[in-house]
Structure 1
Amino acid sequence: MKKIAKIGLLLALTGTLFTSCAADYYVAERPAEPVYVRPVAPYAGAYWVPGEWAWRGNRYVYINGYYARPRPGRVYVQGYWHPVRRGYAWHRGHWR
């Protein structure tokens, strides 16, 4: 019985840790994507991963895109701004 209680407590603490990491940071208005020149592909078949927004220093900053090797059987889902109660929050892109 004590072992089950310890496992339950561990799971509860782990869940709390991960939910605190998943907080949405929001902005009242979506920032404009900066304009930059996409570099030439470094090799044939390189996939361009578009730039993204990241929360740094209490604000969103833009991180330029980059080339990556395609992942067999997977597609890249581009990040996007989604509306939240107080404005917009960035949903990161990912391989699916």
Structure 2
Amino acid sequence: MTHRMLRPARAILVAAVLGSGLTFSAASMAQVSVNIAIGVPPPAPMYEVVPAPRPGYVWLPGFWDWDDGHRKHAWKKGRWERERPGYVYESPRWIQSRDGWVLVPGRWDEGGYKDKGHKDKGHKDKGYHCPPGHAKKGEC
């Protein structure tokens, strides 16, 4: 085959690869979730001073993340994020599985605790965060 004969075939192949890659990328980016189990449990949470409430914002507390490059946990500081009406933020948390420790990422939960039968326990401050481990005990 000559180079002239390969050009149309190569162009069709490149177009097909690019077209399929673009088709998959938009759909796959919305649903990507990777769980990595590690053998090292996270350290105890670090104490952070929660700043005074900001109207229209929710305090997302800090948490231990896994830094794969350094092969250790790294503390991610808490931060403010614009509130989402009708949603409650669930902080990231580590769970122990049969394969090791897995980080469940933080997320915005539609409806929040009030729609799931949990009691508010009198915390009227939108910036309130239940300390780790207390929600499971029904203390928040």
Cα distance in 1 for partners of 2:50, 2:85 equals 24
Which residue, 36, 48, 53 being the options, matches 2:59? 48
Deviation at 1:46, TM superposition (A): 2.3
Could you tell me which amino acid in structure 1 is paired with residue 51 of structure 2? P
Whole-Å Cα distance in 1 between the matches of residues 57 and 84 of structure 2? Answer: 10
Question: Cα distance 1:78–1:53, how it changes in 2: closer, same or farther (>3 A)?
Answer: same
Q: Report what 2:14 is aligned to.
A: none
Deviation of 1:28 (Å): 3.3
* Residue deviations 1:37-70 (CA, integer Å, cap 9, x gap): 22233x3242111212222122221101111111
SS at 2:87's partner residue? coil
Alignment-derived partner of residue 77 in structure 1: 90
* Partner Cα distance (2:47, 2:87) in 1: 28
CA distance in 1, matches of 2:91, 2:103: 11
Aligned residue pairs, count:
87
RMSD, aligned α-carbons: 3.2
Higher relative contact order (CA 8 A, sep 6+): 1
Which of the two has greater strand per residue? Answer: 1
- Alpha-carbon distance change, 58 to 25 in structure 1, aligned in 2, over 3 angstroms: farther
TM-score, structure 1 as length reference: 0.64
- Looking at structure 2, the residues matched to 46 and 30 of structure 1 have their Cα atoms a distance apart, in angstroms, of 28
> Percent identity between the aligned chains?
27
Question: What runs of 5+ residues in structure 2 fail to find an aligned partner?
Answer: 1-16, 110-140
Q: Which one has the largest radius of gyration?
A: 2
The code of the aligned residue for 1:28 comes to: V
Structure-2 separation of matches of 1:38 and 1:74 = 20
2:38 maps to 1:26 = yes
Moved runs in structure 1, 4+ residues, more than 3 A?
none
Query: Residue 48 of structure 2 contacts residue 62 of structure 2 at CA under 8 Å; is this kept in 1?
Result: no
Q: CA deviation at 1:75?
A: 1.6
* Matched residue SS, 2:75: strand
Q: CA deviation at 1:86?
A: 4.1
Matched letter for residue 26 of structure 1: I
